[in-house]
Chains A and B, each alone.
Chain A
Amino acid sequence: MVLLAMPFSVIYSLNQIIKNNTPESIQPISMQTFTSMMNEILNPSTPKSTVSSIFKTLIHSLLHSPESHHSQILKLIADLSSHHPSLAQLALDSLQSMLPQLTDPPSQLTIEYLDALVNISERPMEVDDSLFTSICLAASFPVRLWMVRNSGCRVMVRPELLYPVLMGMTKEPYPCLREEALEALVRLGECAVFEEVSLVKGCYERGVQLLSDNEDCVRISAVRVVSLCSVVRDMNMKVRVEVFNGLGKMEIVSKELLMQSLSKRVLVLDQSPTEQFVLLASNVAGALVHGVEDEFFEVRKSVCQSLRTLTVLSVEFAHAALNLLMDVLNDYKVEVRFQALETMHHMAINHCLELQENYMHKFLDVLEDNSSEVRFSARKIVRLMKLRNHLLFKSTMDVLLKNLDSYPQDEADIFSVLSHLGRNHKQFVDLIANEIADEVEASFEGNREFNSARMAALLVLSISAPFLNADVCPIPPVIFSFAATFLSRICCAFSDVMNRDTLLEYLIQKSSSMVQPEVNISNGEGQNPLAKDDVQNVAGNEMIHSEITINNGEGQLPLSKYNVQNVALEMKPPNDVGQHKRPVHDSVVLTYINYILVKLPNIWPKVQSCSANEVLCSLRHWKEELTSLTFDSSAPADASAFALLYLKIIKLVVEVWDHLVRKTEVVSGTVELEDKLEKLDGRAKELMNRFIGFSAEEEISVLELILLTYTLRLCRSEICSRNFIFKRMTIIYLRTESFLKLRSDVASGFVAELGSLIRESSNGGASCSSLAFDNCLKLFSPKRLMIREGIRHRRAELSIPNNCPDYPLPFAPGLTASIPCDITIHNISSNCRAWVRMCINDGFTQHVYLDLQSFEVSGEVRKISYAVPYYRTPELDSFNLKVCIGLESLFENVTPVQAHGGPKCELVLLCEEKIVYLSRVL
């Protein structure tokens, strides 16, 4: 039956072959049969049995057909095994069994068998000693070549055997065999089997001998073995390129030799050198100088590349090599100039780049290069620069400003460089601050020609200086106001540390010190804990140990002692937070969160003394830091979510504080204030309901914060639902009191005052004046909060598979629609009451109860895939539903929500609302 699937010719041949199983009667397989077999093999739908019969035929014919056919048959067998891996082992076994008959003497056929074997097995094949030696000593040159070429990569031989054979091979009469033998020695060396110095030495010596080989290809390989400087003047360009590539791979070179390579004259050394060293030195002399003078740019580029590694080896050498690199900056080839700059950049990252004053001039010229790659690369170095004196700073600045004129297309990059320059050289910016301010002011007032690019650049430089150094700066606040007018143009210059909005806030904050008395932020604790070596973070993605200092009121405390690596301390624009998130060790996260939380009590005096702007800036900054963290496990994520919410509440409190407590004029109208209070209320509820596992201390802090939010609401005299809020507050207060009693703690001034207020007012909050609440508020100060790992975040993940505006779910009006939901809930015990809430645009809400018992439980996580029914499908062609998961808030069931079969208490939402698209089918 199987045979029916095969072309007739194949069937015929196969039959013939199988029937006439005697060697004499065998007909050689024709070309046509080969092709048909090939087709069958390649066709994936060929039945297995056919394949295996082809396989049998092939193996069979190997034994009985003339040798000239073997290579084709072997090729087919190899193809067959690669397409039908189940047969590979069988193929291997069969071929292996045939091998011994072919090895005496080894011939082309042996190699073909071996090649097929290696191809089939797809991994290095082990060859026994006798086979290996017999092949290596074979009379036929291609046979030997195959073995040398494959030894150490596709064919595995004992290194003890391979080494002497290869050494012998390096004396072969055939150049390509010598070449391959050297390459194989390199491979052998790379596998690190050379544990003995004597072996390396032998190899090295042979390499040296072959450096004077007459054949170019042999010399190239010899260079790879020895990496010697003595051939830098070789007449073949490729040899020279290889030399410098080889030099770039060196890991241990003495400083003396490195220095020697920069001087064509043999240097005189202090200690009396050995004869061997003198010879070596004369070989090495000027090797790198010759390299950079080479006619071929490939060689020059290769030299610059090799300097990348070599400069790291010795600082002294790096300084000397810089001289050479400065010369290369004059090269006519862009590739070479670019590579030289890249090398310098690499040196800068490795702290071995020191641009002396005399080099600076030359270097600044490069900034005006007409190749954009070169300019960008040069500017990359400027970003990392720490200039020694004011003059250098000034000339660098001038060149960059000039650059702006000549290459307006580079504006964004130049601004960014200027911002780095400013951040790194605050003291110099301070020196010219007034000068800049005069110029800018004159321009803005129309007294001078208005060069907007130049203005923007000067502003970038000025505003970047106080950025990392929050202390008093001589930059006039008006500069910040001017800068704000260029916001969209200059925000890219700070994109590495803040986004547009943060920049605006920063500018406003700085410029506002114009009207308000300057508040010294540095002796408060709101200092931005940005990485000190921020420069390096910007430099690349290298892991750089950031030293973070956080002022916790007890002096500077380097966080790095908690072994923090790369804690995300850069402010990130929220939209690209995702790309920059970095995983952080759990315990470190907790420490880090606590360091932020601990600072809250310290900023409170400032809230009371009307410096809300500064406080808000710090809060916003901490918030962003927290959002930028990523986590290995859920525990720190939960703690971080808690801290984030806590901060958000504090932030809202601070935002409404001025208006409510200090009774300042509400600028933007009462609606906004009302909104904020509403938001605060929601957040407070969230804090109470969405977190469990508080310690007593944490619980009290939370409760106190919630009491604060209620008090704030009660302060607002217009509020109509006073009684209701007062009632809720009373409940929370009682809870707080009982907690305090339990721990026999003393209530804080705020709580105590509130308590007496509650006790006094017998008939609800209506009787209390808002002034009384004001007095309470004045006593408030956030508790020093240290959170532990126990906090759990109750949350849910909801997904509706296969639904989007293009693929809506079907419904028939009037009939129940089913909405398939994948729900995962975290940290919610089965005795909680969870609901699916579905809202339609007209405001109608439907709740569906979730039976938590029916969820699939694994630890704190519960999962279910559930088709939620929606009953009230409207008479529309299509509609959207907002779906989300909520939890009944049992915590403060003051006024049960009246629902028909719905939740008895208010729902606290556990996830974002998801939109479900439905479309009518009938």
Chain B
Amino acid sequence: MAIETLVLGAGQEVGKSCVVVNINGKRIMFDCGMHMGVSDHRRYPNFSLISPTGDFDTALSCIIITHFHLDHLGALVYFTEVCGFHGPIYMTYPTKALAPLMLEDYRKVMVERHGKEEQFNSDHIAECMKKVIAVDLRQTIQVDKDLQIRAYYAGHVLGAAMFHAKVGDSEMVYTGDYNMTPDRHLGAAQIDRLRLDLLITESTYGTTIRDSKYAREREFLDAVHKCVSAGGKVLIPTFGLGRAQELCILMDDYWERMNLKVPIYFSAGLTKQANVYYKMLINWTSQKIKDSYPANNAFDFKNVCKFERSVLDTPGPCVLFASPGMISGGLSLEVFKRWAPFENTLVALPGYCLPGTVGHVLMSKPPKIELDPNTKIDVRCQVHQLAFSPHTDSKGIMDLIKFLSPKHVILVHGEKPKMVSLKEKIHSEMGIPCYHPANNETVSVPSTVYVKAQASDAFMERCLKPNFKLHKCSSQELSIKTLTDKNIVPELQVINEKAVFIVEDKSKKLKVVHNDEVLVMLGEKKTED
């Protein structure tokens, strides 16, 4: 028996995560993402490899989506509604709640802003979501007679989960994206010690070892505090989900602790909508938020005020969260235009900005930014870059592998050179065979099959007793030992005795017996002979 892993996406790259695993005859698709950097047919995984005939319903037992990011979710509607998959789709409750928001937002941006041909419409999204079965953490789902799946907390984003799948005696875990260090609003990944044949893990930061996030937080807060205490305004261009909440909690805490009274504004849009979900899904957040929940909901930010356009021109210090991130348009660009010419303004860029966006240009701190031939902005503001990543670093990956000790590891969702070095490391440090298949490649690893055997009564009885014997050293042995090291060697020595014999009886069934019995059986045989 073997576990066959077909990597349809995120093999030696980041984007369009999609892995199809055949485990003891059951085929599961983990994630169904799209590639955000490509706009042709390569943006979707090559689904034809699953079934050349297009009969996906028989080819796949189910689809499991780990979290709502588009590179894990984006191709789902296309696959179900356009390609026509009618089987069950599993995702966690928060993912199910947030997935339509994400998909709709994406569709709007693509169609309405970029004028691209639409791949699916709103009705498709609604239809697709009807096929989704929501699961809870650590809830064991019997997909069919043989297949069992269970979700574990993964950190990363709200609702992200690792999935454990079990068919017969073979077990595997697909991690999706995960984070081993907790942040303010999400906890660290949590999983049981399992006996795994295969672990498929992300490897985004396969070679990076990140230092304590505290230093970065400290710098960020210092910069913000300095700016507002000098009467300046702070602009934080950020996307509504995850990072915005993280930063907001960080600042709300700091405000509380330092008794700051400077207002913080949260611009409307996705962020506000998302906050509603965050408030409801407390169970999926970090321990910190759970702890404080009875007193107040951490997402009811105490220091966050209602945003109105007038605040943009109100004098005095303030902090504003504006979408979209990267200052690619919308409110964040508008505010940037107004505030950038002032020296006491601070623009904090949380995370990486794609080339072509204002944010990317801003990182090189130019004196002027030319938006279009008619618009030039004097940039006199300060710029602070923040590196907050919700992915685990290489040490986290290693720690997870060490904890789970699977028999095989497959790396996905990472750049090839990093994967190679991480693979070497896993192999050399833990002696676990590791693979890093490219897209559309298949890796096959052997799976565990337990053979049933009957245990003899004598064996069972022995099992309930302690499995060691005490052996009294003979006086001769003792006398020798006393010469050398009198105190060390106890007169009694422990002898492990769980000698187990497996015998095949006449009916060709396996039987486990105790060694005492073996002697008897051998004796019988002899007499028979």
Contacts and interface: CB of A to CB of B under 8 A. Distances in A.
Contact of B212 (A160, A171, A289, A365): A289
B209 A173 contact: no
Contacts of B210: 264
Interface in B242-288: 253-254, 256-259, 286-288
B287 A167 contact: no
A282 B400 CA distance: 14
Given A286-B395, A296-B287, A332-B253, A136 B466 contact: yes
Nearest to A366: B257
A196 B494 CA distance: 18
Interface stretch (B17-25, B186-194, B317-325): B186-194
Given A167-B494, A292-B214, A327-B212, A139 B464 contact: yes
Contact of A168 (B181, B400, B494): B494
A330 B217 contact: yes
B213 A198 contact: no
Contact of B214 (A214, A328, A333): A328
A138 B258 CA distance: 64
Given A161-B490, A327-B218, A369-B257, A144 B193 contact: no
A285 interface: yes
Interface string A306-324: 0000000000000000001
Contacts of B188: 294-295
The binding surface of chain B is classed by DSSP as: mixed
Nearest to B465: A139
Interface string B158-202: 000000000000000000000011101001101111000000000
Contact of A295 (B217, B221, B257, B287): B287
A517 to B, nearest CB: 49
Q: Which residue among B184, B259, B490, B491 has the maximum number of chain A CB atoms within 10 Å of its CB?
A: B490
Given A368-B259, A406-B259, A198 B466 contact: no
Interface string A329-343: 010110000000000
A199 B400 CA distance: 32
A233 B403 contact: yes
B160 to A, nearest CB: 15
B109 interface: no
Interface in A802-824: none
B258 A368 contact: yes
A286 B218 CA distance: 19
A362 interface: yes
A282 B466 contact: no
Nearest to A169: B466
Interface string A281-306: 01001100110111111000000000
Contacts of A326: 218
B529 interface: no
A515 interface: no
A264 B490 contact: no
Interface residues of B, number: 58
A368 B253 CA distance: 14
A333 B290 CA distance: 13
A658 to B, nearest CB: 56
Contact of B181 (A133, A282, A290): A290
Interface string A201-219: 0000000000010100000
Interface in B446-491: 461, 463-470, 485, 487-488, 490-491
Contact of A235 (B193, B222, B464): B193
B437 to A, nearest CB: 27
Contact of B492 (A164, A199, A324, A328): A164
B215 interface: yes
B405 interface: yes
A244 B123 CA distance: 54
Contacts of A324: 212, 214
Contact of A160 (B182, B190, B193, B491): B491
Q: Which residue among A292, A333, A365 has the maximum number of chain B CB atoms within 10 Å of its CB?
A: A365
B463 A173 contact: yes
A144 B466 contact: yes
B117 interface: no
A196 B259 CA distance: 58
Q: Which residue among B188, B468, B485 has the maximum number of chain A CB atoms within 10 Å of its CB?
A: B468
Contact of A234 (B258, B403, B466, B493): B403
B299 to A, nearest CB: 14
Contacts of B488: 196, 198-199
Contacts of B527: none
Contacts of B405: 212
A164 B470 contact: yes
Nearest to B291: A297
Interface in A601-634: none
Interface in A741-758: none
B422 to A, nearest CB: 14
B395 A141 contact: no
Contacts of A235: 190-193, 403
A370 interface: yes
A171 B498 CA distance: 11
Interface in B395-452: 395-396, 399-400, 402-403, 405, 429
Contacts of A330: 214, 217-218, 221, 254
Contacts of A368: 258-259
A265 interface: yes
14 contacts: A137-B465, A144-B466, A168-B467, A172-B467, A212-B405, A286-B209, A289-B212, A293-B181, A295-B287, A295-B288, A330-B214, A330-B217, A330-B221, A365-B258
Given A164-B492, A168-B496, A370-B256, 11 more contacts: A137-B465, A137-B470, A160-B490, A160-B491, A235-B193, A235-B403, A285-B395, A292-B214, A327-B214, A327-B217, A330-B217
Q: Which 8 A-B pairs have the closest CB atoms?
A: A327-B214, A295-B182, A168-B468, A233-B399, A168-B494, A160-B490, A164-B494, A196-B488
Interface of B: 180-182, 184, 187-188, 190-193, 209-215, 217-218, 221-222, 253-254, 256-259, 286-288, 291, 393, 395-396, 399-400, 402-403, 405, 429, 461, 463-470, 485, 487-488, 490-494, 496
